[in-house]
Structure 1
Amino acid sequence: MPAYPHGLNKLVRTNLYRDIGASLVVFLVALPLCIGIAIASGVPAELGVLTGIVGGLLVGALPGSSFQVSGPAAGLTVLVYEAVTEHGAETLGVIVLAAGVLQVLLGAARLGRWFQAISLAVVQGMLAGIGLLLIAGQAYALADRKPAGTATENLLGLPGLAADVARSGAGLTAVGLGVLTIALIVLWAKTPRPLRTLPGPLVAVVAVSVLAVVAGVDAQRLEVGTLTAAIKPPGLDELGRLLDPAMVGTVLAFALIASAESLFSAAAVDRMHSGPRTRYNAELVAQGVGNSVCGLLGALPMTAVIVRSAANVHAGARTKLSRVLHGGWLLAFALFLPGVLELIPVAVLAGVLIHSGWKLLSPQQVAWLWRQDRREALVMAVTTAAIVATNLLEGVLIGMVAAVVKCAWDVSHLKVSEERRDDRIELRLAGNATFLRLPRIVEILDALPATQRVELDLSGLRHLDHACLSAVESWAEQRRAMSLGEVRIQLPPADSRPVPEREYA
């Protein structure tokens, strides 16, 4: 180790030890998730490990964020499964490659910060929808059964699955393994802090897998190939399919959702530590480079993952070295101990992912949002329902439209007060008069008596759009043309309305 002045040798050694320790913790968290996410996505387990390796060794060394860790994410599981089912497993590499290139372009165009402009209700709705679909899909793997089909079919088929499992001894055994895995993960979170240094999912997977082997349980187990055999770069035929409009939509979905999830994770991780803040555009470029390489290898797409990132911070990581080393541990494990993975029952990994899906669904967050703002909760519910009914991209877009409509409705809040005197009616409008409130404004004006003088005070409006101003003008002109009661209008300040002030008498 080189000599540093001013006693920095001790600091460097301390940072190195902490980073090595943190990298081992992140590796132990990442390993079962990489495998489980690959299985849930409908691709070989080794592709999930391959993505984790790229996320560690490559993205971990790039600028952007110092502490968040990248790899396959549960949030993309549904999207990958749909893409593989619709377009074929051979097209996964080219989709991920194109999405990665798009992410690099978005980061180079300095659009990283714009992903923070998405409504929190839409984000929570997206996570809840993913969690719900993940639970529904993995319920079949929990029972060693194949999914019924689409997301809706999986949800509707759950009662039939339960009845089928109740009549099957093998199915009940598999479900028992999965339920035991979930129970261990939940209980491990309540153990003393020193024990919790070991991640709950790893403890549960190891313990239940060992139990299954010792007891001779007959359950479906993982089939794991070699990393070199798993690498399948996309060919010219697959690249040509990018001209298909359906493929273009899938690429956009991968790029936008992976980018949003990574940058939301960055914002959350920044709140966990006092070190360097995330450079959003650089982080978006780094994620794009990682996905481009994953695409060239034919692996799963990656995002920054909050579970691994939080484990990295809480384990005491000091530099980027911890996340780079975790990729090295994944590579070493995949090269030298791949046979260990084949001892893991599929139902055990399904239990891990169902627990992850429940955390994404987060009923506590739903209840909190309902108490805070029911209109925001409605946007969240619309997003979740749209994702279940359509797909991830369309569901998020529908949620964003719902959020814009909700925002427009809130912004157009209008307060109306009326005071009747012997010789006149004083009508005051305050707030924002937009086209969304135009029917109410016209109804109020038309209800005013035709024989009395009206003083319409609009000076309390923060905004008066052209549609509302035109309606008020037309109403005043009509009363004057019909020789009805006198009308005087006090308009808001010039910066709150589209045209100069006028008076009507």
Structure 2
Amino acid sequence: METATRKTMTTPPKSPSYADIFTPKLISCFREGYTLQTLRADAIAGLTVAIVALPLSMAIAIASGVPPERGLFTAIVGGLLISALGGSRFQIGGPTAAFIVVVFNVVQRHGYDGLALATLMAGLLLVIIGALRLGTYIKYIPYPVVTGFTSGIAVSILASQFKDIMGLDVSLPGDFLPKMMLLVQHAGETVPAAVLVTVLALGIIIGTKRFRPHWPGFLIAVVVASAVTYLLDLHVATIASRFGGVPRTLPSPAMPAFDLNLVKELLPDAITIALLAGIESLLSAVVADGMTGRRHRSNCELVAQGVANCASVFFGGISATGAIARTATNIRSGGRTPVAGILHAVFLLLFMAVAAPLLGYIPLAALAAILVMVAWNISEIRHIRHILGRATMGDRFVLVSTFLLTVFVDLTVAIEFGVVAAAILFVHRMAEAVEVETHEHLIDEDEADILNRPDATTPGDVVVYTISGPFFFGAAQRLSSILDRIGDTPKRYILDMSTVPFVDATGGSALSSFFDTAHGRNAEVVIVGARDHVIRDIRHLTHESALQPHFMASREEALKL
């Protein structure tokens, strides 16, 4: 019995299989047992989230440059599949504000067909990333980059809402400065009723959030604003007057048109959509884990996001991802399993089937008020203050540059620049952390006498380098520069590499040059304290050098050579 117990205790934990990694949480929840009480809790949470998602999905679609029903199609189809196939128990999927800028720009350039193709490509990319288990690497996108482009998106969303806030009937360009210039030119055409409806809706949203946080503030604001607009016969644009109403059913599935030249042109946009979907979905899953103590499956979640995006455009939707606010609402409302997210999609479909004619009365100014609040919520003001006030100058530069590029240039360019700049700064910091300390007079006269050997080392015969940190391309030139500053050539160079975790190809090249120079000066090289894998790397990377070093365990052994 003792032997069996000991064997059990020493057996390493079994790694999860490929099937375990990609088993949806829905199946895991059913295996654990699904009761009527759990169904009741999930149904209440799903209804609550659907009430929040109904006006929000339409508002995001309109801001993205497409009709409102496409937002509903996305929340229904994408939301259902994200919950059914995903790696989180609580994730709620659908259209989110993070996509507004990139979706709007794609629609402006290529129409909805171009957006459908770009979203389909992004979905396939997400499936591949998840299937190859590369989801972990998405988490390595630096925090200042995420904060920078998120706050930039918030500014762009806010700017795009002034058209409906002011009640203007103009077509806005995608670029920020031309958009603002056009709004200023048409400021004299502002419709006071639209401004009043916006203020009314904003007041209701802010008031409910402050005094009745559990009430559906978005829905209440939309209902009250619609009633006021209808009863007072205000001349304000509505969903019906602008888009002709909302259909009662989902459209028949259709494959996006394929064009190879368009695929090449849309590839950067597809990559951006895939990155945004991956980042936001995993952030949302992490937030859900923090609120519940559960753990999500990152790669399973990415595969689900990819499938959901592909299916969304088959049914006329737009880009979808995990929605942090709706996921948090699901948890606070008592949702326990992915069934809550599935029911949220079912309730949205029922709302559309029953209330489609009433949705046409919603004033666009009220939806603009919703997006103003969304822009404020994602603006990351608190995080921006923290980074600007306490972070390094490099992090500040990455944040500000990513923000400005998002607003004034393009989201894709902003993410690319931010990631590259952050990577360069990281390499610089790593290089600064690597220390090459020189000890030119390690042995004095007394120590040489104590050794009592005919070839005892004398002062100046030994130079010791203590290298601390990874010996990689960012720090490789330090050794060469220090070598160049040495006057008299010693008999022996000792490199203490006991704290070097790895050596890369550039570091190996620098060592090769060092060995060749030492050989030309008739000096020997001893490397002490290096780990086994570091020794293997050095031998492999410097095998063509004129001189091969000795490897010893300690400085003391090297000094007694």
Q: Is the 8 A contact 2:249 2:349 kept in 1?
A: no
- The equivalent position to 1:263 in structure 2, one of 282, 287, 293, is 282
Indicate the residue corresponding to 1:225 in structure 2. 245
- The equivalent position to 2:549 in structure 1, one of 499, 502, 505, is 502
- The equivalent position to 1:373 in structure 2, one of 391, 399, 406, is 391
Is the counterpart of residue 48 in structure 1 residue 55 in structure 2? no
Q: With a CA cutoff of 8 Å and minimum separation of 6, indicate the structure with the bigger relative contact order.
A: 1
Is the counterpart of residue 468 in structure 1 residue 510 in structure 2? yes
- For 2:466 and 2:85, the matched residues in 1 are separated by 59
- For 2:249 and 2:489, the matched residues in 1 are separated by 88
- For 1:103 and 1:455, the matched residues in 2 are separated by 52
Please list the CA deviations of residues 159-210 of structure 1 after superposition, one character each: whole Å capped at 9, or x if unmatched. Answer: 6635743x4451x54344334434443343322xxx2211332333333443
Please list the CA deviations of residues 26-62 of structure 1 after superposition, one character each: whole Å capped at 9, or x if unmatched. Answer: 0111011101011011111111111111134444333
Structure 1 residue 68, shift from structure 2 partner = 1.0
- For 1:300 and 1:86, the matched residues in 2 are separated by 16
SS at match of 1:196: coil
Please list the CA deviations of residues 372-427 of structure 1 after superposition, one character each: whole Å capped at 9, or x if unmatched. Answer: 53233433333333434543334323322223222222222233556786965876
Indicate the residue corresponding to 2:308 in structure 1. 290
Distance 1:136 1:448, change over 3 A: farther
- The equivalent position to 1:91 in structure 2, one of 109, 114, 117, is 114
Indicate the residue corresponding to 1:435 in structure 2. 473
Structure 1 residue 115, shift from structure 2 partner = 2.9
Please list the CA deviations of residues 85-124 of structure 1 after superposition, one character each: whole Å capped at 9, or x if unmatched. Answer: 1112233334333433443344344444443343333333
Indicate the residue corresponding to 2:345 in structure 1. 327
- For 1:61-460, list aligned pairs within 5 A: 61-145=84-168, 146=170, 148-154=172-178, 157-158=179-180, 161-162=183-184, 164-165=186-187, 167-170=188-191, 172-191=192-211, 195-223=212-240, 224-227=244-247, 231=251, 233-234=253-254, 238-241=257-260, 244-275=263-294, 277-374=295-392, 375-412=394-431, 413-417=433-437, 424=460, 428-438=466-476, 441-449=479-487, 458-459=496-497
Distance 1:95 1:416, change over 3 A: closer
Distance 1:431 1:322, change over 3 A: closer
Q: Is the 8 A contact 2:89 2:296 kept in 1?
A: yes
- For 2:477 and 2:493, the matched residues in 1 are separated by 20
Indicate the residue corresponding to 1:5 in structure 2. none
SS at match of 2:93: strand
- Structure 2 segments unaligned to the other structure (5+ residues): 1-33, 445-458, 540-547, 551-557
Structure 1 residue 246, shift from structure 2 partner = 0.6
- For 1:291 and 1:414, the matched residues in 2 are separated by 45
Q: Is the 8 A contact 2:43 2:343 kept in 1?
A: yes
Structure 1 residue 349, shift from structure 2 partner = 1.3
Distance 1:242 1:233, change over 3 A: farther
SS at match of 2:423: helix
> Identity across aligned pairs (percent)?
29
TM-score by length of 2: 0.75
Please list the CA deviations of residues 110-159 of structure 1 after superposition, one character each: whole Å capped at 9, or x if unmatched. Answer: 444443343333333332232232222223332234464233435xx536
SS at match of 1:382: helix
- For 1:449 and 1:92, the matched residues in 2 are separated by 66
- For 2:43 and 2:309, the matched residues in 1 are separated by 26
Structure 1 residue 352, shift from structure 2 partner = 1.5
Q: Is the 8 A contact 2:435 2:469 kept in 1?
A: yes
- Give the number of the structure whose alpha-carbon radius of gyration is greater: 2
Distance 1:63 1:366, change over 3 A: closer
Q: How many residues align?
A: 481
Give, as a single letter, the amino acid of the residue that structure 1 aligns with 2:416.
L
- For 2:126 and 2:146, the matched residues in 1 are separated by 19
- For 1:242 and 1:148, the matched residues in 2 are separated by 27
Distance 1:160 1:368, change over 3 A: same
Q: Is the 8 A contact 1:231 1:299 kept in 2?
A: no
- For 2:342 and 2:495, the matched residues in 1 are separated by 66
- For 1:244 and 1:163, the matched residues in 2 are separated by 37
Structure 1 residue 21, shift from structure 2 partner = 1.9
TM-score by length of 1: 0.82
Distance 1:419 1:137, change over 3 A: same
Structure 1 residue 313, shift from structure 2 partner = 0.4
